[in-house]
């Protein structure tokens, strides 16, 4: 039975648009129709001023909080932060989370059926950008009758979406919480994405993306991509503390090529679990969107790009041991926001948890997000 | 034509031992015979006191300096440091470099012919350790009639061998130069090794290591492993400076899954170049040896392990942006060396070049290694 501070059992909903007139992507390519899977928690108030959009990272989905069934063992991905009395307090706020365009959890993506052929798109699905993901979210917000979001919050690729919302749709957002992210993917981040993609391409079962029909999926390649990514989500110190040099199930070295260190076993488990739940093509599309993300373009500078976000209130958070999106990315963002006169709170949180800190430093994040949301609610006159 | 400070044209030599009585590896497995490919530069002096052993990193070989032919475009891997008048001055020192056991550049390894079957060993080659690699080097030094090395020097996996020499064969070494290395592989280093191995295992052409006969080699998997490794050799800052977000050959995004950023093109090039020159099974064996490396075992502590190195003179070097072997590994080593009363000089060099700094910070390294070697030569009465 869900705990009293759980939102309880939730159901995913679907919003389909652009059925008649295609949604034109940043690339110029048309997409029609477009479906977004989404969930909502709490109730939209009478003046529609209490809506919080929560945006997910690479492998997340619309299921951010609560349970799917009464005996579901695992809640949504940000259940620590969303629920009655939590930071995103569902007694006060109407929380929305939608699966990003290009993903594989109910929103249109490469595994969706292409209406032109009746077959899954595969690589015929057009390449989407963070801007496209966010414009689809704007359509969802319009559909829900929300003129202005109280807040948009998310970490990692979710943080990129938060920044995109603030920079290009600033008039639709009161506050923004970009966590452990960057306004511009740099060479190292692109390199790490690309090596994951190369692992997928290298798997003969990938079949240039057309693996849906014959049941031979690029599991081995996707697992390697996930293992690489998992290392980047942790820190040297966190891995050392968690695994050290401990062996998994034997007393001494086996002198064979088997999984023997605990950290190897952990990585293998992460890889195997991921292939059960994620689509390799979606991995390609979302990492590509990350790589393309550069808020400074076409404006020429971050400050110019953020001119439209001057009225948005920001809480920017980075973590000292995050080497995937190191703190200096957030500091650069904060400088630009300060330059345009935005109201910015910035914290570089001392943590050894690496990039994952935005999800695993629960106590710190609960306090921080909670007090920011409290202040926001009080300023905007939002009560439970 | 080679420059005046080049050692000129060199030839690889081969030393085979353990033909009659097998070489017993740390695992207890026998290996017979054992061949080491090696090169020497300069001349051994009359009292055999001027021998310097240079040890290579993961993908290196015995060819450390000079050229193979008159029109060879590329010198050996540490030509910047080895030659007349250079840090390892061949007018004064007799420099030796041998290819490690398990590698694919002439020393016994998985691609060697197993005399029992007349076929390449593949995974039937026994797993070797850093200790085994060094004991084979001891056999080579014995063969060359050298009682005591003036110095052993190397970086990365080479640095592990330097530490193994000092700790377990301290009476055979006057000085040791471990660069950008660790006395104990930790969870993150093991994880990065393992993910490279997994990329190789995932390639169906790997065929459990028996790919030599049918010509289908695990090139795709090995290329991915190399791309991962290459990222770990650089730093975020170095990659940003080198590649930024520049596109390779187009003006704007292609919105397709092709190589378009310069950093992607660079990685692909590194992967493709590596499969032309390296054996996937050797990659497995050498990374496994790295993962097993833990100088604290079985002694229980680094200081206990280094008790036999108290009379060795050390130059320990780390680099501030090296995140594969971060400086704190070297600092821990220096503490232990200090505790046993060894003569240690330690430098944590400010560099943005990442792990590769030990090879690419040529000016700094030349000065540093040169002055250490000068002092050593003068203390030991070695002249040109």
Question: Which tens digits make up the pLDDT trace of A302-343?
Answer: 999 999 999 999 999 999 999 999 999 999 999 999 999 999
Whether A27 is a known active-site residue: answer no
For the record, the structure tokens of B336 come out as: 């232990």
Average pLDDT over residues A232-242: 96
- The predicted structure's pLDDT at residue B215: 85
Q: Per-residue pLDDT for A296 more than 70?
A: yes
Place of tokens 């917000």: A141
ω into residue A118 within 30 of 0, thus cis? no
- The predicted structure's pLDDT at residue A4: 79
Looking at every residue in chain B, the average pLDDT score rounds to 97
Place of tokens 């003129």: A147
Q: Per-residue pLDDT for A158 more than 80?
A: yes
- The predicted structure's pLDDT at residue B3: 78
Neighbours of B256 (CB within 10 A): 11
Pairwise CB contact (< 8 Å): A186 & B236: yes
Write down the catalytic residue from B132, B291, B322, B356: B322
Cα-based torsion angle of the residue sequence B83, B87, B91, B93 in order, rounded to the nearest 10 degrees = -110
Contacts of residue A29 in chain B, CB cutoff 8 Å?
Answer: 255
Max Cα–Cα distance, chain B, nearest Å: 67
- The predicted structure's pLDDT at residue B2: 61
- What percent of chain A has pLDDT above 90? 97
Pairwise CB contact (< 8 Å): B191 & A231: yes
Number of alpha carbons in the 13 Å side-chain half-sphere of residue B202:
34
Q: What is the DSSP string of B18-40?
A: -SSSPEEPTTS-EE-SEEEEEEE
Whether A72 is a known active-site residue: answer no
A319 Cα to chain B: minimum distance (Å): 16
- The predicted structure's pLDDT at residue A302: 97
- The model's pLDDT over B177-217, given as tens digits with 9 standing for 90+, comes to 999 999 999 999 999 999 999 999 999 999 999 999 988 99
Whether B330 is a known active-site residue: answer no
Task: Tell me phi and psi for residue B79, to 5 degrees.
Answer: -60, -25
B155 pairs with which residues across the strands?
A: B179
Pairwise CB contact (< 8 Å): B263 & A204: no
B311 pairs with which residues across the strands?
A: none
Distance CA(A341)–CA(A34), nearest Å, equals 36
- The predicted structure's pLDDT at residue B384: 76
- What percent of chain B has pLDDT above 70? 99
**pLDDT tier, A178 (very low <50, low <70, confident <90, very high otherwise):** very high
Looking at every residue in chain A, the average pLDDT score rounds to 97
Q: Which domains does chain B have, with CATH numbers?
A: 13-184+294-379 (3.40.50.1820), 190-286 (1.10.1740.110)
Distance CA(B348)–CA(B329), nearest Å, equals 11
In a mutational test of the A interface, the residue from B30, B198, B208 whose CB has the highest number of chain A CBs within 10 Å is B198
Average pLDDT over residues B120-146: 98
Helix (H, G, I), strand (E, B) or coil at A17: strand
Helix (H, G, I), strand (E, B) or coil at B102: coil
Average pLDDT over residues B157-169: 98
Q: Per-residue pLDDT for A8 more than 90?
A: yes
Window B:42-101, CB contacts with A under 8 Å:
none
A68 Cα to chain B: minimum distance (Å): 34
Q: Per-residue pLDDT for B137 more than 70?
A: yes
Pairwise CB contact (< 8 Å): B198 & A227: yes
Q: Per-residue pLDDT for A31 more than 90?
A: yes
Distance CA(A220)–CA(A200), nearest Å, equals 8
**Among A126-130, A140-144, B1-5, which stretch is predicted with the lowest mean pLDDT?**
B1-5
Place of tokens 């992507």: A25
- The model's pLDDT over A83-104, given as tens digits with 9 standing for 90+, comes to 999 999 999 999 999 999 999 9
């Amino acid at each position: 039975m869900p705990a009293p501070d759980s939102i309880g059992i939730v159901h995913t909903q679907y919003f389909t648009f652009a059925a008649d007139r295609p949604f034109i992507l940043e690339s110029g390519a048309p997409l029609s129709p477009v479906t977004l899977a989404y969930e909502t928690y709490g109730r939209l108030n009478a003046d529609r001023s209490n809506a919080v959009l929560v945006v997910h990272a690479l492998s997340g989905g619309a299921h951010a909080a609560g349970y799917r069934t009464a005996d579901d063992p695992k809640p949504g991905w940000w259940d620590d932060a969303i629920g009655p009395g939590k930071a995103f307090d569902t007694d006060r706020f109407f929380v929305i989370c939608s699966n990003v365009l290009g993903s594989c959890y109910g929103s249109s993506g490469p595994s969706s059926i292409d209406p032109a052929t009746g077959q899954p798109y595969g690589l015929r699905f057009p390449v989407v950008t963070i801007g496209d993901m966010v414009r689809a979210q704007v359509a969802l917000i319009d559909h829900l009758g929300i003129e202005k979001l109280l807040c948009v919050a998310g970490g990692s690729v979710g943080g990129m979406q938060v920044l995109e919302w603030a920079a290009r749709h600033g008039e639709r957002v009161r506050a923004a919480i970009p966590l452990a992210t960057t306004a511009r993917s740099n060479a190292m981040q692109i390199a790490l994405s690309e090596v994951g993609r190369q692992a997928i391409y290298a798997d003969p079962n990938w079949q240039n993306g057309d693996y849906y029909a014959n049941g031979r999926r690029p599991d081995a390649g996707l697992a390697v991509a996930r293992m690489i990514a998992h290392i980047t989500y942790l820190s040297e110190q966190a891995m050392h503390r968690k695994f050290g040099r401990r062996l998994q199930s034997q007393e001494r070295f086996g002198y064979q090529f088997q999984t023997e260190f605990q950290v190897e076993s952990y990585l293998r488990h992460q890889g195997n679990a991921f292939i059960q739940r994620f689509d390799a093509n979606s991995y390609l599309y979302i990492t590509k969107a990350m790589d393309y993300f550069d808020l400074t373009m076409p404006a020429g500078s971050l400050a110019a790009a953020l001119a439209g976000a001057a009225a948005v209130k920001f809480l920017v958070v980075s973590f000292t041991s995050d080497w995937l999106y190191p703190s200096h990315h957030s500091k650069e963002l904060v400088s630009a926001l300060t330059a345009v006169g935005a109201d910015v709170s910035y914290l570089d949180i001392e943590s050894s948890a690496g990039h994952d800190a935005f999800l695993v430093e629960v106590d710190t994040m609960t306090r921080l997000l909670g007090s920011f949301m409290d202040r926001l609610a009080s300023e905007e006159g939002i009560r439970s």
